[in-house]
Structure 1
Amino acid sequence: MDGNLCDGWVHSLSGQTLCITGKVLIDGEWVIRKDCREMAQQLGAGWKPDFSRKITVFVHGDLASQAVTDTHREYSKKLVRAAWERDRGYHVCVVDGDGFADLIGGHPARCRELQRAQGTDDHVLVLPQAGDGILGGPLQRHRVGRHDSGVLALDLAHLDKGTEAYESTIAALIDHLSRQDIELRGHARNAPRFDAGWSRDDEVFIAEVKSLTGASEDQQIRLGIGQVLDYAHQLQLARTFGQIRPVLVLEKQPADPRWTSLAEASGILLTWAPAFTGC
């Protein structure tokens, strides 16, 4: 990645030059720096032991997002150096342990925002972001909805996977949110497999998207309500960062108006193309 350009994401380890500090927690296990380096190199990344302008991605393994650095520790000094380089127009992507685990798993990782602690030059805050641990990378147009196999005997693929109506609804939602400078994203690697999500301030919206063409409207809406309530409940139990707002996104306005009041009573935002009211 060019040191002056960043779209907010590290999309792949291939072609990156890494500087790794600390241990990294990957799927519940602490992995030492040497092993992290070997995994990254297998995916096409280079590595440098010391910080320089050859570094494109700085992996702060012991970072816990909200933590303030301790400048007496070597890797904390490197984080201060990354902020210093950014101040001078050279952008070094900073990835925490969760982000590195995502990259090892083939998922994009969020480039973390840095902020100097008030009144100091040698302490740097890595800012938490709404949706941490919930929202994954940017959602692409024409992405097919994925559901866990075996959950229902019903053929979900027949109802919405790969249908033109489903994909058109996703594309329209991307356009609608982009006009508000909001990025539509998929689910995080270890989060429930909701179809789409986004954040606004400290509120995190998780959505199930349902096409209604060629299917029973009642069946599709009931299914969507059950899914999105289940996803929201799982995230609330996990105490993830951000207030969870479940959303059911439909291809079009349902024929029966009762669904709006039912969704409202259940704490669900029910919306549909093309206006996506409430989103």
Structure 2
Amino acid sequence: MTRLFDRVLAHGSRISLYDLLEAYAHVLERKEDKVAAREHAERLQNPALIQFAKAVRPQGSGVRTDVWKQATVVSADNVVRYLAQHRLGEGDLRAMLANIAVVPAYEHMFVEARCVGPGMLAGASAFGWFVMCEEHADGGWQMTAALTLEWSKGHPIGPIAVLHWRLDERGRYVADETREPLQQAQFPESPEHPGVLSDLCESFLSMADGAAGALLMTLGMMHCKNVQTDTIQPEVKQSQRHQRRHGQPLTRYHVIDVHPVTRTLDTEGHAKRDGIGVAFHRCRGHFKTFRPDAPLFGKLTGQYWWNAHQRGDHRNGTTKTAYRVHPPADDHVGVVYEGRLAELLPSYGAAEEGSLDRSANAKAAHDAVQDQLAAALTEAGFTPLRPAPHEPQYDLAWQHGNELWIAEVKSTTASNEVRQVRAAIGQVLHYRSELANAGRTVRMVIATEHPVNDRALIEACRTTDIALTSPAEFNQLIQAQAS
């Protein structure tokens, strides 16, 4: 069986406007939106569009095989499968991983996995991160990871994004005030058509829920001395056949054994029955690091996955909990919103600076609109909320009686208005289905940087009961529901 890594080396990794449009056809198919899929497929048959779309691509020669061949390949299939099974989202992972080492174990790595479920990672079938790490002049490390997605086997597309993380001297990610990892994002850019590729790739990355968390979880578990990795050598005949066809044998890879985690959570924490939050509360499994100045058993150092235990002296009648995660009450949504950290890490290197600037500007515009809406809500007497780790990752929410208002914020320009609002419509409809219950009505809001001009989008929002607003209209929206 070939891995994604083998397919990238054999076929190359493409990234053009046509590749992205073709990938979007797979997204529509997996969403079973037959009408939209048919219309999109018909557009892709236009010869003029095909010629133009294939010509819109970034400069450069693509994947550098001499660098990729230095990578140690790690299969994260077991990690992704377990995270999906227990619905452990990005927020849960951030809370768990904030205090453990996630610095890559090798200078060059390729961490890949098959996607679980039709909705994961924009409907892709597999994903992979090419990870590089180097020491930073100010201490710690600079980690770079490039994301490749594959919708159709043998046709990988990427990198659709390159993410940068600063890691401190202990190998932990540097976080903002909300404990979210500070990261930069770069997207491919066509010099002749600025913004076209980067806008689409940014959209795919926003749909690639779970990819970054799965990467960090995999790296963290590789540091645990009681979590094993097994080396898999491809079958000889298949490897020889692959070498005859593509000039190189199949790659040996490593598989992470997650049993130390799964046994603890499933048997002691009842994770399958009660959910991951309750399981961690009951079994108190967690990562633990022992340093040279305080080694385990007087001699062992490093990071370990720590099974259930209790602290304290039973003779004194007291027991102290070592680790606790409290799942929220069923009728509670979100936590108090206290503003976003709009600053990104400083740029390292000169590659794709224009793309990085656009990404930073879009992020800053998004955060500004979000903060404006939060300020308007506060002034009107409402409490703006951000999502709790276990919830769908909406941008803002607030409660009014038995109504829960959920807002998705989008930075917009004349060129990306349709794409951004289309994505937001799908997001808020999903949030509503996830958060509605018998005693609560969920209202949907899309807040855009600029007023929406497209008539079809305005009508689509009206017919689906989505409030479409922008900063100049925030007070009007809020006053209407408060009256």
TM-score by length of structure 2 reads 0.29
**TM-score, with structure 1 as normaliser:** 0.48
Q: Which has the higher contact order (CA 8 A, sep 6+)?
A: 1
Q: Is the helix fraction higher in 1 or 2?
A: 2
Pair member with larger Rg: 2
